[in-house]
Amino acid sequence: MIWLIWLMKKTKGKNKMSNCYDHEVKMNMLDTYYFKNKKQAKQNLNKNLQEFRKWYEDECKKYVNAIGNFDDWFEQYTGQSFNDMLKDNEDE
């Protein structure tokens, strides 16, 4: 959240979006091109930001879980323990 506040302050009054995003990314930030007014468009952007943030945080939790429970995660992912994988590689 802090990075978002920093970015908003850093880019206030500047047209940074055109410099760092292409049209497709901008288009995907909005559900539709048709709005009654600017307030509605901003509400739409905010809703999409919240959904994106939730998705991103959920993805990050997967990595945190994998790091915190590495042995279990690795065995579920590969079907063997990390040590067994190392032994198999030594034998080759």
DSSP state of 33: S
Average pLDDT over residues 79-91: 86
Can you tell me the distance from the alpha carbon of 72 to that of 61, in angstroms, rounded to the nearest whole number?
15
Can you tell me the distance from the alpha carbon of 28 to that of 25, in angstroms, rounded to the nearest whole number?
5
Can you tell me the distance from the alpha carbon of 49 to that of 79, in angstroms, rounded to the nearest whole number?
37
Helix (H, G, I), strand (E, B) or coil at 63: helix
What is the model's pTM? 0.57
23-50 pLDDT, tens digit per residue, is 666 666 766 667 789 998 888 888 888 9
3-30 pLDDT, tens digit per residue, is 555 555 555 555 555 545 556 666 667 6
- Joined tokens for residue 22: 């292409």
Amino acid at 45: L
Q: Residue 1: its pLDDT value, please?
A: 47
